[in-house]
Amino acid sequence: MPGTVHGELGAFVDKLIAEAEEAARANNIKALYGNFTLLTGKYQKGSRPVKCKEEKTLNTHVKQMKRWVEHFKNVLNQDPPVNKAGIPPSKELLAVDCKRPSTREIKKAIKMLKNNKAPGSDNIPAEALKQTLKHQHNELFGKIWEEEVHLEWKEGNIVKLSKKGSLSVWDNYRGIMLLSVMLN
């Protein structure tokens, strides 16, 4: 039945299946997973209600965000360990080369940036940085090397990742910090 909803839906599903098969053959896990979630309809909502310390569920976004800030401040701002690993300090000073990096070193560092990773607080993905810096890297990195690192590059976004267990419990999450690609 061309032109009907069922016919168009069938064609859409067939197209997704073909794309998923092609992605599997090409070992493109990202595209395969994307097509799989579209086909199965199994999408997890990024945010769900969690319980506060008193076991009450926080339903408003503002209350949840305040509680996440409190949670990660508590988790990430710990006192340093009292018993350091028992490693004595080095008696000799190491020679560290502090000269401006060579063109070869810069090209190698740019090449080592991983694609398809979440960008940091500056929202610049590694792919865009690689394309932009192909020809201008010596001048830019020389300037950065001689001056200071931008404060914005030191800032990051904390992203919460769920661990095993109930997703309404704070301790079943861990946070990772997404830093600027330029800091790498």
How do residues 89-131 score in pLDDT, each as one tens digit? 788 888 888 888 888 888 888 888 888 877 777 777 888 878 7
User: What is the pLDDT at residue 44?
Assistant: 60
Q: Would residue 84 count as lying in a domain?
A: no
Q: Would residue 95 count as lying in a domain?
A: no
CA terminus-to-terminus distance, the chain = 55
Quick one: which of 129, 134, 148 has its CA closest to 103?
A: 134
Domain residue limits at 36: 5-40
With 80 as the cut, is the pLDDT of residue 183 above it? no
Q: Would residue 82 count as lying in a domain?
A: no
65 and 151 share a domain?
yes
9 and 70 share a domain?
no
Q: Would residue 90 count as lying in a domain?
A: no
15 and 106 share a domain?
no
105 and 34 share a domain?
no
User: What is the pLDDT at residue 176?
Assistant: 84
Task: Give me the mean pLDDT over the 136-161 stretch.
Answer: 76
With 60 as the cut, is the pLDDT of residue 2 above it? no
* Residue appearing with tokens 């016919």: 7
Report d(CA 33, CA 20) in Å as an integer: 8
Maximum CA pair distance of the chain?
82
59 and 148 share a domain?
yes
33 and 121 share a domain?
no
User: What is the pLDDT at residue 116?
Assistant: 80
User: What is the pLDDT at residue 127?
Assistant: 82
Task: Give me the mean pLDDT over the 60-81 stretch.
Answer: 83
23 and 111 share a domain?
no
With 60 as the cut, is the pLDDT of residue 45 above it? no
User: What is the pLDDT at residue 60?
Assistant: 80
31 and 116 share a domain?
no
pTM, to two decimals: 0.53
How does the average pLDDT of the chain come out, rounded? 78
Quick one: which of 160, 162, 156, 163 has its CA closest to 178?
A: 156
Q: How many domains does the chain divide into?
A: 2
Percent of the chain at pLDDT > 70 equals: 88
Q: Would residue 9 count as lying in a domain?
A: yes
The size of the chain, in residues, is: 184
